[in-house]
Amino acid sequence: MLHQRIETELAAAAAEGLTRRVTDLRFTGAVTARDRQGREYLVFSSNNYLGLTFDPRVRRAAAAAAEAFGSGSTGARLTTGGVMEASDLEQELAAFKHGEAALLFNTGYMTNLGVLYGLARPGDLIFSDELNHASIIDGCRISRATVVVYRHGDAADLEAKLQAHPAPPGAVRFLVTDGVFSMDGDVCDLPALVRLKEAYGCLLLVDDAHAVGVLGRDGAGTASYWDLPGAIDLQVGTLSKSLASVGGYVVARRKIIDYLKNKSRPFIFSTFPSPADTAAAREALRILRTEGETLLGRLRRNTARIRQGLSDAGIPVLPGDTPIVPVMVGAADRATALDFRLREEGILLSAIRPPTVAPGASRLRLTVTAAHTEAQLDFVLDRLAAAWRQG
Ligand SMILES: *Cc1c(COP(=O)(O)O)cnc(C)c1O
C-alpha cells in the first residue's frame, strides 16, 4: 500500500515538473560554490545575507572551538550536552534583541516547534498569517491549539477574526507572523500587530529568521526596523542565516524562557549543536554588533542595485526593500526552465513552485548578500534578462 502510494505521488509530481532534488554543493567562498562535476556557480539563493560564513574570524572561531572542546556536544543541554558558551550566546542574543532572556534550540525550525508546542495548548487560539513559514505551521499543528489563518498582512481581516474568535475562559490567544516573509520578501506590519495584540490581549510571536542581519539600522530585526523595541513578546530567530552557523533561538521574558527549559520537548529531547556552531554564531553576532553598519550598508546597496536593474529590464518583481527578491514567473514549468538555463550559465537561484507557493505564483527567488560584488550583480542581471527575453 505504502509503496503504491509513494509511486503515485512521485509520478504525479514528476509529471508536473515538481520533483524536488538535492544539489550537492561545496562552497568555495561566501557566494561561490562548486558541484560534484566541478562546475562553478555564483550563488544567488543562500541566506548568508552578510557573507559571514567565509569571514576568516568566524571560521577561525569555529575551528578553535572544535579543537578545544570537541567535535560534538554529546547530548541535550539538560543532560551532559554542555556547550558552556551557549549561555553566553543566549545573553548576547537577548541583549541584541532588547529582551530579558533567550533560549537556544537546534535549528530555527525546531525553535518554532519548541515555542508553539511549549506554550500553546488545546483550547488556546493561534492567529497565523497565511504566508507564515512551514515551521510555524507545524508548530501550530503539534500544539493542538485552534489555528485561525488570516489573510497575508491584512490587519482588518485579522481584527475581524479576533472578534469572531474570543478567548474561551483560561485560554491564551497568540498572534504569529514572519518578520520578513521568506517567499515574498515583504516585512510584517508590526505597528498594526502590536495595536491588535494590545487591544485584544494576545501574545505576539515574530519569526525574525530573515530579519536579523537585514532589518533595522543595527540589523536587530523587525522590532528595530519599526522602532518598537520590547513590543514583541516572543522573538524567534535562527543562527543559520545572517549569523553564519546553525541553530535557533527565542528571546522573551525570563519566566517564559524558564518555562520552556522545563516544558519544551524539542529543547529537552534533542542533542545540542556542536561547540563549533555556537562559537561561529557568537563571532558572527559580535561582527554584526560592531561592524553592522558597514555590512548592512553593503547589503542595502546590493539589494537596491538588483531591484533597480530588474525593474529597468522590465522583469516583474514583488516590491519591497529586503534582499529576498521574488521574480514572478507564473507557471511552474517556466520557472523550472529559467532555473535550468541560469544554472547552465553558472548562476544558482531557487525556482519556488507549488506547493511552497500558490499555483500560478511560481517564481525565481533571488537573494542578495553583502558579499556579492557589483560585477557579480551585473552578471546575474544581464543573464537573467537574456533568459527572460528568450521566454
Ligand atoms: C529559515 C526559516 C526558519 C528555519 O530556520 P532553520 O534554522 O533553517 O531551521 C524558520 N522560520 C523562517 C521564517 C525561516 O525563513
Q: Which of 97, 241, 245, 264 is an active site residue?
A: 241
- Please tell me the predicted confidence (pLDDT) of residue 366: 96
Dist CA 373 CA 43 (whole Å): 12
Q: Is 133 designated active site?
A: no
- Tell me the CA–centroid distance for residue 382 and ligand 1, in Å: 31
For the stretch 211-249, pLDDT in tens is 999 999 999 999 999 999 999 999 999 999 999 999 999
Q: Record the pTM.
A: 0.96
Residue of 259, 121, 125, 241 lying closest to 179 (CA atoms) = 241
Report whether residue 177 contacts ligand 1, using a CB cutoff of 6 Å. Answer: no
- Please tell me the predicted confidence (pLDDT) of residue 148: 98
- Tell me the CA–centroid distance for residue 314 and ligand 1, in Å: 31
- Tell me the CA–centroid distance for residue 238 and ligand 1, in Å: 6
- Please tell me the predicted confidence (pLDDT) of residue 70: 96
- Cα-atom radius of gyration of the chain, to the nearest Å? 21
Q: Which atom of ligand 1 is nearest to the CA of 210?
A: 15
Dist CA 104 CA 127 (whole Å): 24
Averaged over successive runs of 10 residues, the pLDDT of the chain (391 residues) comes to 94 84 92 96 97 98 97 92 91 98 98 98 98 97 98 98 96 98 96 98 98 97 97 98 98 98 96 97 98 97 97 94 95 92 94 90 96 98 94 69
- Please tell me the predicted confidence (pLDDT) of residue 205: 98
Within 10 A of 74 (CB to CB), how many other CB atoms are there?
14
Name the closest-CA residue to atom 6, ligand 1.
Answer: 108
